[in-house]
Structure 1
Amino acid sequence: MDVITTDLCIIGAGSGGLSLAAGAVQMGARVVLIEAGEMGGDCLNTGCVPSKTLLAAAKTAQVLRKGAAGVVGAEPQIDFAAVMAQVAAVIAGIAPVDSQARFERLGVQVIRAFARFTGPREVEAGGQRIRARRFVIATGSHPMIPQVSGLSDLPYLTNETIFAQTKLPAHLLILGAGPIAMEMAQAHRRLGSKVTVIARSTALGREDPEAAAVVIAALRAEGVTILEGQDAARFRATAAGVEAVLADGTTLTGSHVLVAVGRVPAIAGLNLEVAGVAYTARGVTVGPNLRSSNRRVYAVGDVAGGLQFTHVAGAHAGVVIRQILLGLPAHAAKVVPWVTYTDPELAQIGLTEAAARAKHPDVTVIKQDFAHNDRALTEARAEGFLKLMLVKGRPVGVTIVGAQAGELIGLWALAVSARLKISAITGMIAPYPTRGEISKRAAGAYFSPQLFDNPKLKWLVGFVQRWLP
């Protein structure tokens, strides 16, 4: 068996693995990249890229359907196969950036095979042994499949298979009510499917409840049925598709089932025990620097047991590069923004209101509605709000729900992660009219009591007005 000696061996060619490989090889390291599946990982092939492309088509359909004041809407003509062809085209357009050919041109040795550790300093893949100074596990995650009677007997869908559908589901039953479930529910409903969401507890349960309620109300208004506090007891195939029996005895019939109840780290078959790498059901056990119990092995992205977002994996790559290439200390960021790309969108950075009140008894919570934002009013999209959590004049969390919330959260991601004072936001000039003005208005509201309800300040202003020449 051939033996390859290298500086860095990366297992997994998703966002984290590719970012790390590209950075490391261009900085002069010898890099081996191992990937058994598609280059680009989940984000490119079955996650971010296809889902947002589908959501874009669905949004266009809804705009045509609703019209506007003085503009009569009409039911759009939808060619679902053409929509899915566009999804595939977008993936194909981005794929060369993540391709094996590109990374080989950069100087990375790419091995397309499954990898498994054969010792603390060695991996086997594709009939070759790779010995490296450092290893990085970047294998991502895959859909969690719950143990529900009859489910395994069905051709159920997950995010890994739903984008291969070319025929619109007549009635899509969705098991789960997290971000993926709610995005797919709205997209398919807008494209013409009947959709029923089965939520074990509360839909979008990890989000600020007040913000989640805005999204849930919007989906229900569009015709998505959301059954909260329910669970599926069993499934069975029928001539028309599938039947689901809920825990309370309610029977639902649909054409397809999408399972979207969460994700589990992809660690099966890696032989981590042999490498001395500790792990749990949440993934590889790592410290703040992303190093595992084997000092030569790191983990990044979903498999590292934290938040499961593409941008987290990319950020992890930078943390690891600083350590293994430059010998500098580095820790993963503790504060990470995320967005649920429904319409309206829901974005979060830092602590929610409930978490902030629990951690900081002296927290100040400020809420600004888009109903008072002129740009939102001109677009007839005034639903939602911005909620700002402040401690001693510094933001510790921001929740935004409304159109383009994902674009607006970037400013607050900087403010929270850099621990900026709120005066930095009040001091900026926001162009008018923009949705971004809501951030400045919320920041300004923090100082309003000091300016407008302050007797001493009013006395000073009166004194100056009497004596100022």
Structure 2
Amino acid sequence: MSRIRTDLLVIGAGSGGLSVAAGAAQMGADVTLLEGGKMGGDCLNHGCVPSKALLASGKAAHALGAGEVYGIGRAVPQVDYAAAQAHVAGVIAQIAPHDSQDRFEGLGVRVIRAWGRFTGPREVEAGGHVIVARRVVIAAGSSPMVPPIPGLGDVPYLTNETIFDLRERPEHLLVVGGGPIGVEMAQAHRRLGCRVTVIEGKRALPADDPETAAVALDRLRAEGVEIAEDAMVSRVGGTAGEIEVATEDGRRFTGTHLLLAAGRQPNIDGLNLPGAGIETTRAGIRVDARLRTTNRRVYAIGDVTGGLQFTHVAGYQAGVVIRSALFGLPARAGTAHIPWVTYTEPELAQVGLTEAQARAAHGDRLEVVRFPYAETDRAVAERKTEGLIKVMVRRGRPVGVSVVGAQAGEIANLWALVLANGLKMKHVAAMVSPYPTLGEISKRAAGAYFSPRLFDSKLVRRVVRLVQRWLP
């Protein structure tokens, strides 16, 4: 085996690992990157990119039959499912060069296409090499969890890693799991002409605010998606084309295809983490606020840590690790300002704490401000009035924002900036928002926060009357 010495070894070429490798190499570090699968990881090949591309196909099909409110006659979409999936593949191919081995080697990164295994605290074997690193970053991502459901091993099933390989449209797609992956794929396939049933053991979209999640789920139901909640799967049976899912309460669901969207598990098997003195929990690799493992020379970021499993979180954590590993700065990762979005229509976005979390943390000191899309002129003009924004405020400072409605993810960007920088409601109120835009709803929410303080205040009224007496 050849022996390689490097400043920084990055295990995993997904979004987090690529961000670390690119940043560190361009700042002068000797960087080695390991990837045994596809460059770009889950996000590019099986997750964010293909799912949004398929949702775009579904949105285009849905629009053809939803024009009557604008005075446009209804049209029946002619869906070519194979062509829609080809569109997905084309989007992946267009983005792939940005994450490619050639690009990263061009940045000066040593790329080894092999799986790695720790053989010591700073030593990893991979592809016929022994790599000794000053620092190691584990960014190996996660994979779809396959729950131990009786009978599952005897029937064909799909995951997010295989559903984009389909070229024949499912007649009736059964989705086990009502999280973001499950509901996004449910709406996309329903709009592409499939019957769809979502089977969720508890509450669908459980991580989101129940009030805003209900708006998105109601739309899915109105479009024909069956959503069965409190339906814990007890058994799966049948054959290809005729699959049955049974639940503990006696319900039975039959469909042609089965998609498992019941969670993720960290890709840590095979790394020999104990051999490097790295502890794990049930969720993933144990890390501290600086994202260091119990081996202080090894960091872990992204899905392998078992925290918030989003591409942008891994990218954010990559920046924390670069400041710590390259410059020795005491950089720490937080979650209070992290946004996430479920890309159904309407979109569902969250920044920071939900209302329930905020009330648990701040009690009676919390104020909740709501403002509906229906009172936003651009939303009225485009007939996209379902939804609302709600802002959780403590002493004038937002601690969480929930948005459901058209372009909720775009609206959340402003609030991500506000929370990340500790800004107050007065800063949002001072913003001049172009009229008419959907983003104006943020300023209107800030106005709703201040209105009672200005217009319902006896003190303000007295001051105004006094000033008016003395003004020339």
After TM superposition, the score normalised by the length of structure 2 is 0.98
Q: Within 5 Å, which residues of 2 pair with 1:26-425?
A: 26-67=26-67, 68-238=69-239, 240-335=241-336, 336-361=338-363, 362-425=365-428
Structure 1 residue 328: Cα displacement: 1.3
* Structure 1 residue identity aligned to 2:71: G
1:431 equivalent in alignment to 2:440: no
* Structure 1 residue identity aligned to 2:81: F
Contact 1:396–1:416 (CA under 8 A) maintained in structure 2: yes
Deviations 1:292-339 (A, max 9, x none): 111110001111221000001111111111111112110113221000
Question: What is the alpha-carbon distance in structure 1 between the residues aligned to residue 240 and residue 266 of structure 2?
Answer: 35
Deviations 1:339-398 (A, max 9, x none): 010100010011111111111121011000011000000000000000011000000000
Question: What is the alpha-carbon distance in structure 1 between the residues aligned to residue 239 and residue 39 of structure 2?
Answer: 37
* Structure 2 residue identity aligned to 1:437: E
Aligned to 2:458: 455
Contact 1:113–1:125 (CA under 8 A) maintained in structure 2: yes
Deviations 1:386-416 (A, max 9, x none): 0011000000000000010000001101111
Question: What is the alpha-carbon distance in structure 1 between the residues aligned to residue 116 and residue 270 of structure 2?
Answer: 8
Aligned to 1:17: 17
* Structure 2 residue identity aligned to 1:359: A
Question: What is the alpha-carbon distance in structure 1 between the residues aligned to residue 277 and residue 463 of structure 2?
Answer: 69
Question: What is the alpha-carbon distance in structure 2 between the residues aligned to residue 390 and residue 249 of structure 1?
Answer: 44
The 3-state SS of whatever aligns with 2:244 is: strand
Structure 1 residue 463: Cα displacement: 2.5
Structure 1 residue 281: Cα displacement: 2.1
Contact 1:264–1:281 (CA under 8 A) maintained in structure 2: no
Question: What is the alpha-carbon distance in structure 2 between the residues aligned to residue 47 and residue 243 of structure 1?
Answer: 26
Question: What is the alpha-carbon distance in structure 1 between the residues aligned to residue 386 and residue 33 of structure 2?
Answer: 46
Question: What is the alpha-carbon distance in structure 1 between the residues aligned to residue 240 and residue 4 of structure 2?
Answer: 54
Contact 1:265–1:281 (CA under 8 A) maintained in structure 2: no
Contact 2:219–2:346 (CA under 8 A) maintained in structure 1: yes
Question: What is the alpha-carbon distance in structure 1 between the residues aligned to residue 130 and residue 145 of structure 2?
Answer: 31
Deviations 1:79-135 (A, max 9, x none): 111110010011011111111111111111111111100111100001110001011
Question: What is the alpha-carbon distance in structure 2 between the residues aligned to residue 130 and residue 345 of structure 1?
Answer: 44
Question: What is the alpha-carbon distance in structure 2 between the residues aligned to residue 136 and residue 460 of structure 1?
Answer: 60
Question: What is the alpha-carbon distance in structure 2 between the residues aligned to residue 215 and residue 316 of structure 1?
Answer: 30
Question: What is the alpha-carbon distance in structure 2 between the residues aligned to residue 3 and residue 239 of structure 1?
Answer: 49
Structure 1 residue 464: Cα displacement: 2.6
Structure 1 residue 232: Cα displacement: 1.6
* Structure 2 residue identity aligned to 1:29: A
* Structure 1 residue identity aligned to 2:239: T
Question: What is the alpha-carbon distance in structure 1 between the residues aligned to residue 425 and residue 370 of structure 2?
Answer: 15
Question: What is the alpha-carbon distance in structure 1 between the residues aligned to residue 4 and residue 468 of structure 2?
Answer: 81
Question: What is the alpha-carbon distance in structure 2 between the residues aligned to residue 398 and residue 201 of structure 1?
Answer: 24
Structure 1 residue 152: Cα displacement: 1.6
Aligned to 2:2: 2
Question: What is the alpha-carbon distance in structure 2 between the residues aligned to residue 121 and residue 409 of structure 1?
Answer: 40
Structure 1 residue 153: Cα displacement: 1.6
When residues 370 and 98 of structure 1 are mapped into structure 2, their CA distance, relative to the original with a 3 A threshold, is same
How many aligned positions are there? Answer: 469
Question: What is the alpha-carbon distance in structure 2 between the residues aligned to residue 327 and residue 244 of structure 1?
Answer: 53
After TM superposition, the score normalised by the length of structure 1 is 0.99
Structure 1 residue 6: Cα displacement: 0.7
Percentage of pairs with the same residue: 61
* Structure 2 residue identity aligned to 1:358: A
Deviations 1:217-252 (A, max 9, x none): 000000000001112211112363311122222222
* Structure 2 residue identity aligned to 1:346: L
The 3-state SS of whatever aligns with 1:139 is: coil
Query: What RMSD over aligned residues (CA atoms) do the two structures have, in Å?
Result: 1.0
Moved more, 323-332 or 131-140: 323-332
Gaps of 5+ in 2: none
Runs (4+) of structure 1 moved beyond 6 Å? none
